[in-house]
Amino acid sequence: MVQPSEPEFEQALNEVYSTLKASSLFEKEPKYLKVLDVVQIPERIIQFRVVWENDNHEVEVNRGYRVQFNSALGPYKGGLRFHPTVNLSILKFLGFEQIFKNALTGLNIGGGKGGSDFNPKGRSNNEIRRFCYAFMRELSRHIGQDTDVPAGDINVGGREIGYLFGAYKQIRNSFEGVLTGKGLTWGGSLIRPEATGFGLVYYVEQQIKYATKGKEDFTGKRVAISGSGNVAQYAALKVIQLGGKVVSLSDSKGTIISEEGVTAEQIAVIGKAKIAFKSLEEIIKDPAFETHPVKYIAGARPWIHVGQVDVALPCATQNEVSGDEAKALVAAGVKYVAEGSNMGSTQDAIDVFEGERLATKSASAPAVWYAPGKASNAGGVLVSALEMGQNSQRIQWTSEQVDSELHKRMINLFEESIKYATQYSKESNKESLPSLVMGANLAGFVKVADAMFDHGDVWA
Ligand code: NDP
């Protein structure tokens, strides 16, 4: 039974179940209904105490977690998040999404997620290192290259993965591919830092091509992005590379709006400053923002401030687009919405976007087309799985190899969602574009469910 105190998990569960139930899957293949009861319960949840010493030699204590949700398709795989809001509801929602996302990549990875309520902001480098070592002291008993392979997520980037890897190596006396997002000289994959943002933009490229029958691409499109961390930075860079204009970025304190478009130089400045946890408000004092000025709006998200937009890419955190903000985006002309963040849109926002899609009157005038994070942000975990493959073979691919594999697999993943949505849709408006939420949920669910039947996790 769903715990009433787990609102984010309940929301993620409802999104998957409601779309599966609106399709014809269970009518055509009733055996899949049984899977719903089983798949919603994690195979294992590990909770632990993390005691560490701050710079004043005082004891600090945090909660640590790893949710090993589903291993039907491979070792548990999913990031670690360090943020004061982390709790079991958040990690179960992220882990549940991860199961189907990982299935969509077509690679052998199960679903998991973990993290801590530790807040790294305002902490010294030494404190972050001591925290990572204390966290791994317990986590190291439960993970391994063939068991569970964590990666980064919010506030867990290259530096933290380095400390976590170092701690694992010391504790277990084993140099192995137990984490992804590693440094390039010790087992990392080229293009892993870029992968989620690049993959997101490759996915949207397919949406644009499909909806306009190949007549349009990113050239000249106005793109609103939220967040200014790993995913947002590389999504923005790829949009600029493809000829689009990035009209916004944001962080937890506020938003910047750039009428003429954020530049690649400004993104490089943001990337450097964010490692030191600086806010955008401070960062825009850098000379890079003198020649191309931006407007700063404190305490705001971008969506109602961006003016006319063609594409919206939420890339900060969950539930960062409300129903009203979705309506504002629609009024601003948005045609494509794709999540870099996990569950970036509230259910109200999804209802607005999906309602617009269904109201399409003619195929030549496509309305809004929404893509859920579990499909559009799968590029990160996809390249993580390629990193695992390179580690197993003790080789390193070139950037071109990784990027081309990422590109190819994002196209496959998009087409797979279209195929499933078309096959199982009961929607009567044949002029509307297929539902990418329904398609992604169906494609991921069926693959996981079939493996669970094969393993005897569930039976008909
Ligand atoms: P980062 O920590 O690098 O960046 C997060 C960004 O979001 C920062 O700009 C941060 O602001 C902002 N942010 C975080 N929490 C909030 C909040 N509660 N309200 C407003 N803004 C917030 O994380 P990532 O870029 O790695 O992750 C962003 C999203 O993408 C997450 O939802 C994550 O789960 C998802 N994702 C990440 C993947 C990856 O490979 N990294 C893969 C797939 C999905 P500030 O700087 O002020 O803290």
User: Has 327 been labeled as part of a binding site?
Assistant: no
Report pLDDT digits (tens) over 95-124. 999 999 999 999 999 999 999 999 999 999
Whether residue 297 is contained in a domain is answered as yes
- The residue among 373, 395, 428 that closes a domain is 373
Yes or no: say if 69 and 43 are a contact pair by the CB < 8 Å rule. Answer: yes
Q: Among the atoms of ligand 1, which is closest to the Cα of residue 279?
A: 47
Query: Does 1 score more than 60 pLDDT?
Result: no
Provide the domain count of the chain. Answer: 2
Query: What is the CATH number for 139?
Result: 3.40.50.10860
Residues 286 and 169 both lie in one domain: no
Q: pTM above 0.85?
A: yes
Residues 207 and 349 both lie in one domain: yes
Residues 234 and 362 both lie in one domain: yes
Whether residue 65 is contained in a domain is answered as yes
Whether residue 76 is contained in a domain is answered as yes
Residues 169 and 213 both lie in one domain: no
Structural domain span for residue 53 = 40-176
Report pLDDT digits (tens) over 356-389. 999 876 655 658 999 999 999 999 999 999 999 9
Residues 353 and 221 both lie in one domain: yes
Query: Does 58 score more than 90 pLDDT?
Result: yes
**End-to-end Cα spacing for the chain:** 21
Query: Does 46 score more than 70 pLDDT?
Result: yes
Report pLDDT digits (tens) over 294-341. 999 999 999 999 999 999 999 999 999 999 999 999 999 999 999 999
From the CB of residue 68, how many other CB atoms can be counted at a distance below 10 Å?
23
Q: What's the half-sphere exposure (Cβ side, CA atoms, 13 Å) at 381? A: 39
Q: Which of 252, 274, 296, 321 to mutate to test the pocket of ligand 1 (most atoms within 8 A of CB)?
A: 252
Q: What are phi and psi of 394, to 5 degrees?
A: 55, 45
Whether residue 95 is contained in a domain is answered as yes
3-class DSSP state of 429: coil
Whether residue 400 is contained in a domain is answered as no
Whether residue 437 is contained in a domain is answered as no
**C-alpha 226 – ligand 1 centre gap (Å):** 9
**Cα–Cα dist 313/371, whole Å:** 10
Residues 83 and 170 both lie in one domain: yes
Whether residue 421 is contained in a domain is answered as no
Q: Ligand 1: does its nearest atom lie under 6 Å from the Cβ of 425?
A: no
Whether residue 215 is contained in a domain is answered as yes
**Cα–Cα dist 317/345, whole Å:** 9
Q: Ligand 1: does its nearest atom lie under 6 Å from the Cβ of 384?
A: no
Q: Among the atoms of ligand 1, which is closest to the Cα of residue 231?
A: 25
Q: Ligand 1: does its nearest atom lie under 6 Å from the Cβ of 91?
A: no
**Cα–Cα dist 312/250, whole Å:** 13
Residue 36 structure tokens: 């719903």
**C-alpha 13 – ligand 1 centre gap (Å):** 22
Residues 303 and 358 both lie in one domain: yes
Q: What are phi and psi of 175, to 5 degrees?
A: -95, 100
Would you list the DSSP string of 81-97? Answer: EE-TT--HHHHHHHHHH
- The residue among 373, 400, 416 that closes a domain is 373
Q: Which of 91, 118, 154 to mutate to test the pocket of ligand 1 (most atoms within 8 A of CB)?
A: 154
Q: Which residue's alpha carbon is at the smallest distance from atom 41 of ligand 1?
A: 153
User: Has 11 been labeled as part of a binding site?
Assistant: no
Residues 207 and 154 both lie in one domain: no
Q: Is the dihedral of CA 207, 208, 214, 217 positive or negative?
A: negative
Q: Ligand 1: does its nearest atom lie under 6 Å from the Cβ of 152?
A: yes
Tell me what the mean pLDDT of segment 130-146 comes to.
98
**C-alpha 341 – ligand 1 centre gap (Å):** 7
Yes or no: say if 38 and 458 are a contact pair by the CB < 8 Å rule. Answer: yes
Residues 292 and 236 both lie in one domain: yes
From the CB of residue 455, how many other CB atoms can be counted at a distance below 10 Å?
10
Query: Annotated catalytic, 121?
Result: no
**Cα–Cα dist 165/414, whole Å:** 33
- The residue among 321, 344, 373 that closes a domain is 373
Whole-number pLDDT of residue 36:
96
Exactly one of 92, 113, 182, 274 is catalytic; name it.
113
Query: What is the CATH number for 293?
Result: 3.40.50.720
Whole-number pLDDT of residue 334:
97
User: Has 333 been labeled as part of a binding site?
Assistant: no
Q: What are phi and psi of 190, to 5 degrees?
A: -60, 150
**Reading across the β-sheet that carries 245-250, which strands appear in turn?**
295-298, 254-257, 245-250, 222-225, 311-313, 336-338, 369-371
Q: Sorting pLDDT into bands at 50, 70 and 90, what band is 16?
A: very high
Report pLDDT digits (tens) over 235-275. 999 999 999 999 999 999 999 999 999 999 999 999 999 99
Contacts of 352 (CB under 8 A, 6+ apart): 323, 326, 327, 330
Report pLDDT digits (tens) over 204-240. 999 999 999 999 999 999 999 999 999 999 999 999 9
Yes or no: say if 406 and 383 are a contact pair by the CB < 8 Å rule. Answer: yes
Residues 140 and 216 both lie in one domain: no
Pairing between strand 59-70 and 111-116?
antiparallel
Residues 359 and 234 both lie in one domain: yes
Residues 155 and 261 both lie in one domain: no
Q: Ligand 1: does its nearest atom lie under 6 Å from the Cβ of 98?
A: no
